[in-house]
Every structure is written in structure tokens, then in C-alpha cells.
Structure 1
């Protein structure tokens, strides 16, 4: 007996260690049970949690694991099972042995829930995209969208929004993004009619991305202005919307609104979305330069962004100095980077800002200087640099960039004495803009506050209990009064 006990105590740890670490297939089965519970209870938060757990498992997905899960979640003879299995590559023999061994322990349970079927589409689509099989992902996403059109369940909306995103992504990676524009518009109309707000904001961002991919800024602005207004439900989708809005405002020369949208998108974006934050900062730097501002050095020294922002740092330095030749060298040096970022056309606009900055430095340094020297210091490479310098100086004086006059007889630019800035309205304007920014941040913080659900019902229940207690007290008082009458 003692030997048996000792043997059991020795053998127990090996079994516990083997069963302590669940496999990827077991995790997927738990996610399926979570989706099933959320579908029957009509709790969307359980489906949201299932999607988050799936994203954490995507690096561990294999063809054999996905195929085994499809056999567990869907009926073997169903159309959805046959179609999804056809998109998967053939499994490896080693993976098949592991999965068959794990599937023997628990018999497959067949489900007929639409939520679970849509989840299977999403799982296969994520696996195909991670494996760089974009043609198969394109076909799978088209099939899933056709299936989604027939469903109108609020518990499917979270899964549908992810399918919309991967649907557009698979077509973008194959270069056929323009083909699905009509389908995206139709899906957005269906989501609006069904009051699917998460689907609306996802599809609106996908449509804006579709238009901006082909530089159709006017169509994007028309769609954005005509789209129905609703409160943002996803922080990620709201950040994307702000980024696209900033790009549209930049092209439309509304630099102040564009700067606010881009900086807000960069602040609200999660720390893990480094690529998105880099793109927001690139566009925000260009917009600030177009506004005549010079970004701080700390903008270019952010963690994980220093290498990506090197071209824009050198560009900012050229604009700050006002050296037109240095600006041309930097623009040519990083032309491929600016073209891939989509900021090349904006950098062409910066040439005028470089000239204006250089002219402002000249007007501060010299009380009187000839137009020929101005053209030489600005490095104007034209046929008649003196005439060009005169027109540039005249335009800068008219716009208020410099406080000077032109002596046409002698060919001079005469600068006026700089006055006290505090005698003007500039400090008031700057203070007003800071106050407006702080008030806007406070209002957004108040809107983002979350209150416990059904708090009003608790107050209502307490009021009902109070009325019942008062009624009981009145009945008790009446009963006591009747007893007193009987005694007399």
C-alpha cells in the first residue's frame, strides 16, 4: 500500500504538467463556447472578448489546427465546412497526429449558430492573410460578405466589422481595391438601415481609405459630409477617421483643422500602433510647417520613431533656416520616402514657406539691403532673379510676413523697426487658442466617462421599496388604531 501511494504521488505531477498547458485547439473551443454563450444570452461583450482572444492566438494558428476546429464547430457535410476547408492548404503529417490525438479526448459538438459560422469565416481569413495567401483570402472574404448580407443579428455586428476590414485589406494587397467600392457603399447603406453603428464607422473608414488610395479627395469629402452622424464606439476606428479627416483637410488647404485632427489621432492611438502614429506625425509635421510653425525637437525623438522621422527632421531644419538650396537637396535625397508617404505634393508647397522664412531672417538682420543681394541670399535660380526677388518681397509685405517697404528707385528693401508684440492682439489670440484647446480636452474627457449600467433602475427599485414601506406603515397604524377603539 505504501509503495502504491508513493508511485501515485510520483506519477501525478507528470499528468498535471501535460494537462496544465492547453493546446491552441482547446483555446479555440473555449472561444467557441464563449461565442455560443454570448449568442444565446445576446451579450455583445462576450463576442468582443472572443475576438480579442482570437487576435492573441493568431501567431499560433496552423492549417491543421484550423481544420480541426472547423470539424468541431461546423457539420461535416455542410456547405460552409466544405467551402472553408477548400481554402486551407494541406496539413503536415506531424500536425495531423497532434490534432487527432487532442480531438480524441473530446468528441466534436456540432453547432448551427450563425455567430459561430461567421467566426469560422473570420478565423480562416485571418490565417490566410497571415500566411500571405491573399488570393485565397480574397475569395474567402467575398464569400463571407455574401453570407453576412443574409444576417441581421446584433451579436454578429462585432464579427462583421472585423470581416469588413479584412475584406478590404485582402483586396488592397492584391491591387483590386477599386472593385469593391460599390460593395462597400451597399454594405454601409445596409449597416445604416440596421442601426449597426460599429459597422457604419468601420465601413466609412474603409470607404475613405478607398477614395484616398486613388487620390479622390473630393469624393471622400462628399461621402464624409453626407454620412450619418453617430457616437464613436471604437477608439481605433475613431483614430482612423481623424487621420483620414486630417489628410482631406490638408489637401483642401484647411491647415488649422488638419493639424488638430492629426495631432488628436496621434494622441488617441494606442502605444502598440507605432506605424499609425508615425504616419500621423509625418503628416502633422508637414501641416505645421505649412502653417509657418517649427515642430519641437522632441517630436522627432519619440521612442521608436526617430529613424522613420529622419527625412522630416532634415526637411524641418531646411525650412527653419530658410535655405532654398538645402531644401532642394533634402527633397531630392528623400524623394522616394516622400512619395511612398504621399507627402510629395505637400512638400512642393513648402518651397514658398522656405522663401518666406529666409526673407524674414533677412529683414531682421538688415535694415536696408538691395534686391540683388536678397536674390543671392535666397538662392533664386531663375532668369531674372532681381525681378523675382522684388515680387516675392512685395507679396511678403502684402501678406504681413515682414514689415518693410521697397525703394524701387534704388532697388532696396528697407525694413521697419520691430515694434513691441505685446502692444498688438497676438498674445490675446495665442492665449485664446490655448484656452479653447484645454476646454476641448476637458469636454472630451467628460464625454469619455463611463457610468455603471442600469444605475437608474436601482434608484427606481429603491423608490418602489420606499412606497411599499410607507404603505405597510399606514396599514399598521390603521390596525393599531382599530385595536385601540375595540379596547374602549
Structure 2
């Protein structure tokens, strides 16, 4: 009896199919599931399925290896196709590749016909692998080949994958330092996307072109392109955030600080939490714009989680501008000159010198009812051949601009401040209250416009099965909508 019990405890031997499935790497199995999802989305013409496949690819990006990619190319592409031949060149042959092939050849079904979505997706996978391996020259060649193939494909289910390929196409050339070479090709792709009514591709390519122009400080060309490009509602939150950031940079250089501040703050608020580098850049430019407007950013801006170290130079710069100390401002500018040059904000730092002087004059006018021009020059720490004359000219300019409420006594060489009145008797509280109300109304209108409803919901006469399927899709969409692709930033 004990022997019978012992024999029953042993599990049955595995079948050959179970042995083959256990030998398949999990990354390859996940890629096959993503391929089936793309295939289903292609046949049913559901763009959401293709977008979901790209979101699932994010978790597999760091697990891509040469054997897995080679096995997946053999699975998804026809062995004698042009795409298979092109992509196989970028994947060196290894011994592990043969092991994966023999393990998966038993359950590999023959490909009936090649789907453009799967072909473009294979280009994207190989391009991501080459960029992660820092093979930028190979990445440039692979991305160029994918763009040539994309020009001959006009399907709406390909647009989502194409927008990612456009981004990494530009990114690979930027990493190689050859961003100017593809400017004409990006313009041609934008024209093709406009003719095909590919709105997601249009906004992606527009942002890439703006980034291309701003990379070489061609702000006039960027503004001309932005003003003449077709406008429509944004389809991607990431692309809309980038557009707002580039628009804020253009407006800042054009001295339109109020519009620049609104665009930069909106880009920082709308950016996903995972895109920390992008939000840091938005906050850097927003801090400078607010300083140029005469405002002092709150301390909490510089104490955001994970941004303290990156925003430290701008915190010390803000402190110098707030105090109005010209010597301290000069020391901070020299101390962090390398950081400001890397951020491309050196020209804005030079503009801030005038604001520091105005802030110092304002503080002096509030502290003293009457003060000599020599003392003003000493407190401002003006270094010139004739500091008194410079202080007098600066005071005259500040008084004419309304920054300082005082008068100049040229005979005695004095600055006489006027008595400060009640601020609530002016229009400043009303203006501040009106700006806050406008901000709340704008946020409410954007939230209403962002609401999405399934098409023809009121006309659909679905059964319980369709209703369950729709609810499952909505749950999956809600689950993955928060997983923003931080690699895009």
C-alpha cells in the first residue's frame, strides 16, 4: 500500500509540447503575444490595440538581446523578405541564436502574408536595441531604412508605430551629432503626413522640426514653421507637452515673457511624473521667465522631489535677483556658467542683470526716504569709471518705467522716495484675482475637452458579450494610461 501511494505522488512525465514551450524565453513569448495583438488590431482596424502593444513593449525594452530579436524576426517576417534581410544585418550571429531557433522551430507557424504593422514594429524593435547598445551609426542606417519603408505605407493602424519611429529616427541622428542632415527629410515627412491626414504624425514631426531648429538656435525659422503649420486638437499628451515647451522657448527669445510663462508652466503641469528630466527643463526656463517678468518664484518650486540638485543654480540666482545684489548675481553667474551654457540659458542670464539693478533700486527706495546718488552706487556695487553718473541714469530709467516711485534731485544729487499708498486702493488686487479666475476657467475647459467617449455609443445595440468586452478594454486602457513612456522625454 505504501508503494502505491508513493507511485501516485509522482507527477506525470511532461509532453514534448510542454518541453518546447518551457524552453521558449519569456521575452520572446511576450513579443509573440504583442505581435498577435498588433495583428488583431490590424485586421479589426483598432488603433487602441496597436497603441497598447507599444505600451507593453516598454517593459521588454531592456530585456532585448540578439538571440531573442533574431528568433522574433524569423517568427514575424518571411525568411526571404527584404525587411528580414535588412534587419538581420544589424544582429550578429551567435551560438545562442541557434539554440533559440531549434527550441522554437517546432511550434512556429508559417507566415501567410506579411503585415505592414508587424514589419514596421520589427524595425522599431531593432532600432531601440541599437540605440540602447550605443551603436549610433547602425541606428542611423536602420532608422533611414525604416523611413523609406514607411513612405510607401498608408494605413491608420501604422500611424501609432510610425510616430515612434519618427522620434527615434531624429533621436539617433541627434545622438550621432548629425541632426541637420535630416531636416529636409523631416519636412518631406511632415508634408506626407499632412496629405494623409495623419494628425499624430503631424504633431510628432512638427515637434521634431522645432527641436531641430532650436538645437541650432534658429528661432526665426522655428516660429515661421510653427505659425504656418496646420492646427488641430492634440492626440498625444507627450507631444502636446513638447509643443508647449518649444513654444515657451520661442516666446522667451522673442521677449514675449507673459505668453512664454503660461506655456512653460502648462507644459510642466501636464508632463507625466516619470518624465523628470523634461519637467526639470520646463522649471528652469519658467524660473528665468518669471524673474524677467519681475516675479519671484516660490521656494517650493526648487524643493520638488528629485529636482533639488538640478535647480540649485537657479535657486541661488533667484536669491541674488530677489535681494538685488549685483555682486552676488555676478558671482553666481560665474560659478554656474557651465550649467547655464549646457541648458542654453546663458543669454537669459545676461538679460537678468537689468532686473537685478531695478530690484536693488526698488529696495533702496523703500528703505530710504532720501539718499545720495553716491550711496546708491555703493549699495548697488556698480563697477565703472563714473558710478554716480551710472546710478543717476539707471534711476532715471527705472522712474520712467514705473519700477521706482521716486524723484531725482539733480541739484543736490539725491533720490527722494514718495510715500507708499494703500495697495488695495489700486487695481493690482483685482488684476491678480482676475488672472486666477481665468486660470481656473481655462483648466475646466481643457478638462471638458479631454473627455473621450466611444464612437456611436447611443446607437450601439450590443449584447452582453460586447458589453463585457468593451468594459474589459476600458479597464485595460485605464490601467495602462498612467504608464507614460518616459523614454520619449
Rounded Cα–Cα distance in structure 2 between residues aligned with 1:395 and 1:90: 72
The answer to whether the Cα contact below 8 Å between 2:257 and 2:289 also exists between their aligned partners in 1 is yes
Q: 1:22 to 1:460 in 2, by over 3 A?
A: closer
Q: 1:76 to 1:147 in 2, by over 3 A?
A: same
CA deviation after TM superposition for structure 1 residue 100, in Å: 2.9
Rounded Cα–Cα distance in structure 2 between residues aligned with 1:280 and 1:102: 49
Report the more deviating stretch, 203-212 or 416-425. 416-425
Rounded Cα–Cα distance in structure 2 between residues aligned with 1:114 and 1:69: 16
Correspondence for 1:302: 304
Correspondence for 1:109: 110
1:246 aligns with 2:248: yes
Q: Which runs of 5+ in 2 are unaligned?
A: 464-489
Q: Residue 82 of structure 1: SS of its match in structure 2?
A: helix
Rounded Cα–Cα distance in structure 2 between residues aligned with 1:394 and 1:89: 72
Q: What pairs up with 1:458-473 in 2 under 5 angstroms?
A: 458=460
Which fold has the larger relative contact order, with Cα–Cα distance below 8 Å and residues 6 or more apart in sequence?
A: 2
Correspondence for 2:57: 54
Correspondence for 1:384: 386
For 1:424-453, what per-residue CA distance to the aligned partner results, in whole angstroms no more than 9, with x for missing partners? 111111111111111111111111122243
Q: What pairs up with 1:404-415 in 2 under 5 angstroms?
A: 404-415=406-417
1:100 aligns with 2:101: yes
CA deviation after TM superposition for structure 1 residue 101, in Å: 4.8
Q: What pairs up with 1:68-467 in 2 under 5 angstroms?
A: 68-91=71-94, 93=95, 95-96=96-97, 98-110=99-111, 111-458=113-460
Q: 1:365 to 1:101 in 2, by over 3 A?
A: same
Q: 1:432 to 1:21 in 2, by over 3 A?
A: farther
Q: Which runs of 4+ in 1 moved over 4 A?
A: 9-12, 18-22, 458-461
The answer to whether the Cα contact below 8 Å between 1:71 and 1:108 also exists between their aligned partners in 2 is no
Q: 1:291 to 1:21 in 2, by over 3 A?
A: farther
For 1:87-109, what per-residue CA distance to the aligned partner results, in whole angstroms no more than 9, with x for missing partners? 12343x3x335523531342243
For 1:282-304, what per-residue CA distance to the aligned partner results, in whole angstroms no more than 9, with x for missing partners? 00000010011111111000001
Correspondence for 1:42: 45
CA deviation after TM superposition for structure 1 residue 80, in Å: 1.2
For 1:86-145, what per-residue CA distance to the aligned partner results, in whole angstroms no more than 9, with x for missing partners? 012343x3x335523531342243241111111111111011011110100000000100
Report the more deviating stretch, 65-74 or 97-106. 97-106
Correspondence for 1:465: none
CA deviation after TM superposition for structure 1 residue 415, in Å: 0.4
Rounded Cα–Cα distance in structure 2 between residues aligned with 1:109 and 1:345: 61
How many residues align structurally?
Answer: 456
CA deviation after TM superposition for structure 1 residue 345, in Å: 0.4
Rounded Cα–Cα distance in structure 2 between residues aligned with 1:62 and 1:289: 49
For 1:381-439, what per-residue CA distance to the aligned partner results, in whole angstroms no more than 9, with x for missing partners? 11111111001000100010111000000000000110111111111111111111111
The answer to whether the Cα contact below 8 Å between 1:73 and 1:108 also exists between their aligned partners in 2 is no
For 1:442-476, what per-residue CA distance to the aligned partner results, in whole angstroms no more than 9, with x for missing partners? 11111112224322314999xxxxxxxxxxxxxxx
Q: Residue 108 of structure 2: SS of its match in structure 1?
A: coil
CA deviation after TM superposition for structure 1 residue 53, in Å: 1.1
Q: Residue 457 of structure 1: SS of its match in structure 2?
A: coil
For 1:200-257, what per-residue CA distance to the aligned partner results, in whole angstroms no more than 9, with x for missing partners? 0000000000000000001101111100011100000000000000000100111111
For 1:243-274, what per-residue CA distance to the aligned partner results, in whole angstroms no more than 9, with x for missing partners? 00000010011111111111111111000000
Correspondence for 1:477: none
Correspondence for 2:485: none
The answer to whether the Cα contact below 8 Å between 2:87 and 2:142 also exists between their aligned partners in 1 is yes
The answer to whether the Cα contact below 8 Å between 2:66 and 2:97 also exists between their aligned partners in 1 is no
Rounded Cα–Cα distance in structure 2 between residues aligned with 1:403 and 1:99: 80
CA deviation after TM superposition for structure 1 residue 64, in Å: 1.2
Correspondence for 1:67: 70
Q: Residue 170 of structure 2: SS of its match in structure 1?
A: helix
Q: Residue 87 of structure 2: SS of its match in structure 1?
A: helix
Give the alignment's Cα RMSD to 1 decimal.
2.0
Rounded Cα–Cα distance in structure 1 between residues aligned with 2:30 and 2:134: 24
For 1:129-174, what per-residue CA distance to the aligned partner results, in whole angstroms no more than 9, with x for missing partners? 1111010000000010011111111111011101100000011111
Correspondence for 1:24: 27
For 1:178-218, what per-residue CA distance to the aligned partner results, in whole angstroms no more than 9, with x for missing partners? 11111101100110110000000000000000000000001
Q: Residue 456 of structure 1: SS of its match in structure 2?
A: coil
Rounded Cα–Cα distance in structure 1 between residues aligned with 2:136 and 2:205: 20
Q: 1:152 to 1:257 in 2, by over 3 A?
A: same
CA deviation after TM superposition for structure 1 residue 3, in Å: 4.3
